[in-house]
Amino acid sequence: MASDTKDPNRRDFLVVAGNTFAAIGAASLIWPFIAQMNPDAGALALSSIEVDLSPIKEGQAITAMWRGKPVFIRYRTAEEIEAAKKVALDDLADPIARNENLKDPASAPATDQNRTIEGHEKWLILIGICTHLGCIPEGQKISDARGDFGGYFCPCHGSHYDTAGRIRKGPAPRNLDVPVITFITDTKIKIG
Amino acid sequence: MADHSSTYEPKSATAKWWDERLPIMRLLSDQMITFPTPKNINYLWTFGGILTVFLLLQLVTGIILAMHYQPSAAEAFNSVDNIMRNVNYGWLIRNMHAVGASMFFIAVYIHIFRGLYYGSYKAPREILWILGMLIFLAMMAAGFMGYALVWGQMSFWGVTVITNLFSSLDGIIPGLGTAIVEWLWGGYSVSGTTLNRFFSLHYLVPFVIVGLVVLHIWALHMTGQNNPTGVEPKTEADTVPMHPYATSKDLFAMFAFFLMFAWFVFFLPDYLGHPDNYNPANPLVTPPHIVPEWYFLPFYAILRAIPDKLGGVIMMFGAIAVLFFIPWLDRSRIRSARYRPIYKWFFWLLVISCLALGYLGAMPAEEPYITWARIFTAYYFAHFLIVMPIVGVLEKPKPLPASISDAVEGGKSSSGASAHKKN
Ligand code: HEM
Ligand code: FES
């Protein structure tokens, strides 16, 4: 006590330092408890698949599963490609390409060319998840509703996509995403 | 009131021995037997007790279901089917749990509108009200995650759509929303991993609710109950002991409510659910028309009324958030709408708006439903943000009775007396 009266603040440093370290220690322990919920190594390991395109005829489509998500693969008809090419960029709700395969996916314009893989424009390959709230749009089957623009239609809240998978009408904010694709041969692709 | 001094007298030597060590009998006696209750509270005051019973019922039936349920993507749907078909009385326990959740929400909505009508959120009951809102939020979390556990088509796509609400945060900070959604899912889509954690949390949340209810009732017993006049009890003549007066009224209402509960459990167990949930979850096919459980429909209607993704999400959460602030938004000095001739009409307009939004939330997202949803959404917010502050200042209230006894015994001092005969 005597020393306290001489220099009453001397011990504050110890108290503050001790509490600070305890607080930092406790706080850094929170991270593992939060991070454990992130996708685990097993989920990350599923990150690429190969798909054979040879059985698909013009006008047909198949759905592959990649990372638990459907991937729409559509062999577009000449009319569908033509319709997508004719659209002026000003008419697009989302003018950005959203194509992971481009050098600048966040700024390239959403032309039909930028929505596909160079040299393979007849193939439309998309993550088949509505960018609104995650439903699977219709349009893969011939009998499906394809919306006002002939591409895909999401029945959940009424989003219409065109034949390049671009959002044209409804609440979805973005064009359907184009995943990372590598053409191994002309009829075989790797997704992811 | 809460400061009523303890009247408990231990009657035996054992009781006295306990009372000096753990005065639990004193607590129960003071808080549940002799506790002064306004003598004019009507049947709308019985829903707190009904809620407590339903909470316990959900805990009991839920723990039993967990003994037979398997929280994996491959087995969840089948294990529920197994409970319904093979487990002894599994059908009964499951129907009670599923219907019980709906009853819980019916009761809480009545309980909340009771509070809104009689101004039970006003000083000094603000904390009581906020605890109630936290209970309501936790109930919604529990209901949402519980519905997911069935792992039918509606479970799966309901979870997909609702968790995706957070992806709208990408509109504020790119990447943030996606990171949160993948964190919630534990993957890149809703999967068995998601189901497993929902099961863990669905087990936890009701116990959090129990804790909140304890605080809620503690706060209630600090201020005492409000009553239909909104006038605080002034003398002992204004109150009666909780037991046997309030308790017997509670019990009677509870039996009536249980009659309805039993009707659903035995005759209409699926009425409040959705037939699509009898199809196992399929990540490749979205059902054509996704609807949440009925008790979320008004909020779902608000979400869909807004044409912008982020805006819709903000409005939906805002619809709940605004309720936390009404103790301060309502500028009227008068608690009970019974003495508020103008506000009373707006109150019923709010009730109609909420019912209409509930109906619209179940309709497809097309015209004319969207326009109507916008109109009622606008009123919902206007009620709290415009009507409450303004009407509270402009309105000339009817004269209040001098006391509860005065109001009950013929209402000599009040022009609103005709409404009092019920009690
Ligand atoms: C699990 C859910 C809940 C339980 C078990 C519960 C329980 C109770 C009980 C036992 C009472 C006393 C009896 C009565 O006056 O009715 C009460 C009063 C009250 N509760 Fe709740 N409650 C729940 C949810 C809520 C919610 C969501 C709100 C809305 C904010 C709320 C607001 C109130 C208010 C304001 C009172 C005081 C009422 C008055 O005296 O006028 N409660 N609650
Ligand atoms: S999820 Fe597709 S429109 Fe809402």
Q: Give tens-digit pLDDT for B388-408.
A: 999 999 999 999 999 999 998
State whether A155 and A103 are in the same domain: yes
By residue range, what is the domain housing residue A18? 7-38
Give which of A77, A85, A76, A176 is closest to A126, Cα–Cα: A176
Instruction: Match 């639990």 to its residue by tokens.
Output: B24
The pLDDT score that the predictor gives to residue B423 is 37
Q: How many domains does chain A have?
A: 2
Asked if B42 contacts B423 with a C-beta cutoff of 8 angstroms, the reply is yes
Question: Is B172 within 8 Å of chain A by CB?
Answer: no
Mean pLDDT value of segment A178-189: 91
pLDDT band for position B4 (50/70/90)?
low
Q: Tell whether A125 is covered by a domain.
A: yes
- DSSP β-bridge partners for residue A64: A71
- Beta carbons within 8 Å of B20's beta carbon, 6+ residues apart: none
**Residues in B touching A132 (Cβ below 8 Å):** 164, 309
Residue A183 to residue B403: CA distance in whole angstroms? 84
> In Å, how far are B235, B343, B385, B407 from B231, measured between CA atoms?
12, 18, 25, 10
Strands B239-241 and A167-169: unpaired
Whether residue A54 lies inside any domain: the answer is yes
Question: Could you tell me if B152 and B281 are in contact, meaning their C-beta atoms sit under 8 angstroms apart?
Answer: yes
Angle between helices B192-223 and B153-164 (to 10 degrees): 70
Which among B422, B10, B66 is positioned nearest to B411, based on CA atoms? Answer: B422
**Position A1 in a domain:** no
User: Tokens 């050098």 identify what position?
Assistant: A103
Ranked by mean pLDDT, the top range of A137-146, A163-172, B34-43, B284-293 is B34-43
d(CA A124, CA A140): 11
Ligand 1 contact, B205 CB (< 6 A): no
Residue B65 and residue B94 in contact, taking contact as beta carbons nearer than 8 Å: yes
Where along chain B do its domains lie?
A: 42-230+239-290, 293-395
**Does residue A148 share a domain with residue A64?**
yes
Assess whether A72 and A104 both reside in one domain: yes
| Res A1: pLDDT | 47
Q: End-to-end distance of chain A based on CA atoms, in angstroms?
A: 69
pLDDT higher than threshold 50 for residue B415: no
A13 and A108 part of one domain? no
Q: Which residue has the tokens 């699926």?
A: B270
| A62 and A34 co-located in one domain | no
With respect to residue A2, please indicate whether it lies within any of the assigned structural domains. Answer: no
A54 plus A134 within the same structural domain = yes
Tokens of residue B172, six digits: 């504020």
Contact B161/A at CB under 8 A? yes
DSSP label at A65? Answer: E
Residue A154, Ramachandran bin (φ over 0: left; ψ between -120 and 50: alpha; else beta): beta
Question: Average pLDDT in the B25-49 region?
Answer: 95
Topology of domain B293-395 in CATH is Helix Hairpins (1.10.287)
Instruction: Report how far ligand 2's centroid is from the alpha carbon of B161 (Å).
Output: 8
pLDDT digits 0-9 by tens, B169-203: 888 898 899 999 999 999 989 999 999 999 999 99
- Three-state secondary structure call for residue B47: helix
- Tell me whether residue A148 is in a domain: yes
**Alpha-carbon distance B246 to B269, whole Å?**
32
**Alpha-carbon gap, residue A20 to A167, rounded angstroms:** 51
**Closest residue in chain A to residue B192, using alpha carbons only:** A68
Centre of ligand 1 to C-alpha B245, Å, is: 19
Please report, rounded to a whole number, the percentage of residues in chain B having pLDDT higher than 90: 85
Based on the fold, state whether residues A55 and A127 are members of the same structural domain: yes
pLDDT at res. B171: 84
CATH number of residue A137's parent domain: 2.102.10.10
Instruction: Please tell me whether residues A76 and A144 are part of one structural domain.
Output: yes
Residue B105 Cβ contacting ligand 1 at under 6 Å? no
| The domain defined by B42-230+239-290 carries CATH number 3.30.1330.10 | no
State residue B84's pLDDT score: 96
- B224 Rama class: left (phi>0) / alpha (psi -120 to 50) / beta: left
- What is the C-alpha to C-alpha distance for residues B120 and A70, in angstroms, rounded to an integer? 51
Domain match, A28 and A109 both: no
Which residue minimizes the CA distance to atom 1 of ligand 2? A133
- Asked whether residue A87 is assigned to any structural domain, the reply reads yes
Note the pLDDT tens digit of each residue in A81-122. Answer: 999 999 988 889 999 988 888 888 778 899 999 999 988 989
Task: Look at A171 and B289 and tell me if their CB atoms are within 8 Å.
Answer: no
On whether both A12 and A78 belong to a single domain, the answer is: no
Just list the catalytic residues of A: 157
Pair of tokens at residue B181: 């959604």
Residues A26 and A117 in one domain: no
A165, A81 Cβ separation under 8 angstroms: no
Which residues, in sequence order, are bridge partners of residue A188?
Answer: A52, A185
**Encoded tokens for A124:** 């439309």
What A141-144 contacts at long range (C-beta under 8 Å, 24+ apart), as own/partner pairs, is A141/A61, A142/A59
Instruction: Collect all residues with Cβ–Cβ distance below 8 Å to B354 and sequence separation of at least 6.
Output: B298, B380
Which of B369-373's residues contact partners 24+ apart within 8 Å by CB, and which partners?
Answer: B370/B304, B370/B305, B373/B301, B373/B302, B373/B304, B373/B305
Region class of A139: left (phi > 0), else alpha (psi between -120 and 50), else beta: left
Same domain assignment for residues A130 and A177: yes
Interchain contact, A155 vs B157, CB within 8 Å? no
Q: Which of A76, A80, A81, A75 is nearest to A52 (CA)?
A: A75
pTM of the predicted structure, to 2 decimals: 0.86
Q: Name the 3-class secondary structure at A130.
A: coil
- pLDDT for residue B307: 79
Report the 10 Å Cβ neighbour count for A25: 9
B214-264 pLDDT tens trace: 999 999 999 999 999 999 999 999 999 999 999 999 999 999 999 999 999
Inspect the interface and report whether the beta carbons of B171 and A172 lie closer than 8 Å: no
Distance from Cα A128 to the centre of ligand 2, integer Å: 12
The size of chain A, in residues, is 192
- Nearest CA, atom 12, ligand 1: B48
Tell me which of B32, B45, B51 to substitute to probe ligand 1's pocket, judged by most ligand atoms within 8 Å of the beta carbon: B51
Taking CA–CA distances from B308, the nearest residue in chain A reads A171
Report the distance separating Cα B353 and Cα B374, nearest Å. Answer: 11
Residue A114: inside a domain: yes
